[in-house]
Chain A
Amino acid sequence: MRLSDRVTGLFLVALGAVAALAGSRLPPVPGQQIGPNVFPVVVGLGIVLCGALIALGVGRHYEAEAEADLAKIAAAHGEAANGPVSWRRAAMALIPPALLLLYVLLVDRLGFLPTAALIVLATSLSLGARLRLAAWLALGAPLIVNLVFVKLLRVPLPSGLVPLPWLGLP
């Protein structure tokens, strides 16, 4: 997901403008000049300014230096630091956040253990683990995490479909 400075800069200009505009419409405190509107307007205008400077390419040479350092380290173990990434591979990167959202959707219905097993299995397989390792992890890791968080830290994780009363899990 490497975008040009022009794209990210213009995005920031738009975001800052919207924030400043929305901020200025906030209702003021009666009888007071300064209210909840001041800060968003100031910050929004700052973002507009920065976005414009970025779109114009100001300060680009500072990055070139840092990138050269990083590239040197990356090259040491044969990895392109900022090489172009195809869209299909870029979609791979979205797997972890997507799994977290899946957790939000499913955990109350399925319970912690099945949901967690699903997440571990999916992450492990997409990182290229063999099925055996992934399956063992998916069985073991959620159970240990569940025991630690429920028994030691008293976090109420939902048990859902798989209650394990003999382990002390509700």
Chain B
Amino acid sequence: MSTIGEALLLVLQIDVLLAILLASIYGLMVGSLPGLSATMATALLVPVTFYLSPIAAIAAIIAASAMAIFSGDIPGTLLRIPGTPASAAYTDEAYAMTRKGEPEMALGICVWFSALGGIAGTLSLMVLAPPLAEMALNFSTYEYFWLAFLGLMCATMVARSSPVKAIASMLLGLLIACIGIENPAGTPRFTFGLTDLLGGIEPIPALVGVFAVSEVMRAMLTPEPPKLPFRRFGSILKGQIELTKKYVAPQVRGNIVGIIIGVLPGAGADMAAWVSYSMSKRFSKEPEKFGTGHPEGLIEAGASNNASLASGWVPSLLFGIPGDTITAIAIGVLYMKGLNPGPTLFTERAASMYALYIIFIIANIIMIPLGIVMIRLASLMLRAPRSAIMPVIVLLCAVGAFATGNNLFAVSTVAAFGVIGYVMERNGYPVAALVLGIIMGSMVEQSLVTSLIKSDGSILPFFSRPVAAVLAALTIAALLWPVVVWGRNLARGRRA
């Protein structure tokens, strides 16, 4: 009990509460602008977190990402343009409700079930993390190698793209992580004689490039989205309690699917929304209503993407393996703030962990009032022309990257990764897999090489420890799955 009291004291600091409030407003604004994703909001927030206390920094990230995932639903509902990729799955459904004259209902569902989903995800984090931490204390480098590898494979398996291209992106990320002297022998690798490359490619500038600069590049080629006509909204929360009672099963299913996808390393909110929406359609009693402005799918997927957000912190906190691209950024901040991820975090820094849960709950509760204010202001917000927002984003990319190490090389890195991200995206290579490869590269290499040195070059110990064997089987299954599907499709194609 005293730990909870301690945690409450940590959270009820003026700087932490202020960080939550300001980050929430920032997240709501960024998320509601089409083209600016939750990941981008978080990445641009990192330089600011340098100057906050550890708990305030984490609070800012949690609040901003949760709000951005919800507020991405606003332009989706009103304009049929998803504000963040996580809203894309059900944009058509929400817009259909607007066309039927029920935008309040659609937006109400988004804010209400997002908050409930977020709280469900937090509960899962509270329940799942401690026992897993207990187990993880016995892990050796073999288990960590398989875990990291499995995480990378999950990221490629769930990408909405060709699995081969996803694996290629992931390997490209691992190759980029090889750059520098951070390797088992301290030999400069792939530095091309540049001193700036000795320290390797920093993940944050790479992330900013891939997620923010490439978005501005895309804006250069696409026409400006239409403006939103001003409209007055009726009561936003009206009828939500009835909907909560009516659609219990879709809600629970959405939360559970979101939690599972969040826990899987590499798969995040956008994946959770796509899976939940199609699942809702499959299990619904009235699937013919989907696409015509039916609340069921909206409830399930809206809850799911917010639930995945909190459970994405489970692998991040326990193993340092990001659950999605947002926690990938958060891991960097955790290290910087001395809260190094690992199972001991839950024993040694228990108060900080409880504080994290409390922040999640607070963020999801204030999402409701702040979200309603945001919905009412949305028509003003969405009036801002793109030509006024994107220049500021470019400027923030430059200054933010510079601030990560007071080093201009980081700005060049941002530019380079903007181009890499843009070209990859255009050609169907998922950039999230690349980013995870970059972030996890040193961990994968370290656990692989340490394990190989321990075993004197033999690969037998990778399979002989019980947990390692299970993880190995899962990883190999994940690796072979696309091959099996491909073979089956090929066979079917021959028969047809």
Q: Name A's B-contacting residues (CB within 8 A).
A: 1-3, 5, 8, 12, 15-16, 19, 22-23, 26-29, 32-36, 38-40, 43-44, 46-47, 50-51, 53-54, 58-63, 65-67, 69, 72-73, 76-79, 82, 85, 89-90, 92-101, 103-104, 107-108, 116, 119-121, 123-129, 133-134, 137-138, 141-142, 145, 149, 152-157
Q: Is B221 in contact with chain A by the CB < 8 A criterion?
A: yes
Nearest-CB residue, chain B, relative to A93: B217
Residues in chain A near residue B184, CB distance under 8 A: 29, 34-36
List B176-221 residues whose CB lies under 8 Å from chain A.
178, 183-185, 187, 189-190, 213, 216-221
Judge whether A119 and B395 touch: CB under 8 Å: yes
Q: What is the interface of chain B mostly: helix, strand, loop, or mixed?
A: helix
Judge whether A94 and B399 touch: CB under 8 Å: no
Residues in chain B near residue A99, CB distance under 8 A: 394
Question: Could you say which of A29, A123, A129 contacts B185, with CB atoms under 8 Å apart?
Answer: A29
B198 to chain A, nearest CB (A): 14
Nearest-CB residue, chain A, relative to B181: A36
The interface-forming segment of B110-118, B122-130, B161-169, B242-250 is: B161-169
Q: Is B225 in contact with chain A by the CB < 8 A criterion?
A: yes
Judge whether B419 and A79 touch: CB under 8 Å: no
Residues in chain B near residue A72, CB distance under 8 A: 92
Given the contacts A73-B88, A141-B395, A156-B406, A93 and B452 also touching, CB distance less than 8 Å: no
Q: Is B415 in contact with chain A by the CB < 8 A criterion?
A: yes
5 residue pairs of the A-B complex, CB under 8 angstroms, read: A29-B184, A39-B444, A63-B165, A77-B81, A128-B224
Question: Could you say which of A47, A61, A92, A123 contacts B175, with CB atoms under 8 Å apart?
Answer: A47
| Given A58-B164, A96-B415, 8 other A-B residues pairs in contact with their CB atoms under 8 A | A27-B185, A53-B164, A59-B482, A66-B161, A97-B213, A97-B418, A129-B387, A149-B47
Question: Could you say which of A8, A39, A95 contacts B220, with CB atoms under 8 Å apart?
Answer: A95
B246 to chain A, nearest CB (A): 28
Judge whether B427 and A34 touch: CB under 8 Å: no
Given the contacts A8-B429, A123-B390, A149 and B399 also touching, CB distance less than 8 Å: yes
Given the contacts A61-B489, A63-B161, A129-B388, A40 and B187 also touching, CB distance less than 8 Å: no
Q: What is the interface of chain A mostly: helix, strand, loop, or mixed?
A: helix
Nearest-CB residue, chain B, relative to A97: B415
Cα separation A2 to B171 with both chains bound (whole Å): 21
Q: Name B's A-contacting residues (CB within 8 A).
A: 47-48, 50-51, 79-82, 88, 91-92, 95, 160-165, 167-168, 171-172, 174-175, 178, 183-185, 187, 189-190, 213, 216-226, 385-388, 390-392, 394-399, 402-403, 406, 408, 411-412, 414-416, 418-419, 422-423, 426-429, 444-445, 448-449, 452-453, 456-457, 482, 486, 489
Judge whether A123 and B394 touch: CB under 8 Å: yes
Most buried by B among A3, A12, A65, A124: A124
Judge whether A149 and B185 touch: CB under 8 Å: no
Residues in chain A near residue B223, CB distance under 8 A: 78-79
Nearest-CB residue, chain A, relative to B411: A104
Most buried by A among B185, B213, B406: B185
Judge whether B392 and A120 touch: CB under 8 Å: yes
Judge whether B168 and A54 touch: CB under 8 Å: yes
Given the contacts A36-B189, A58-B164, A59-B162, A43 and B396 also touching, CB distance less than 8 Å: no
Judge whether B418 and A153 touch: CB under 8 Å: no
Cα separation A76 to B76 with both chains bound (whole Å): 11
Residues in chain B near residue A77, CB distance under 8 A: 79-81, 225-226
Judge whether B418 and A63 touch: CB under 8 Å: no
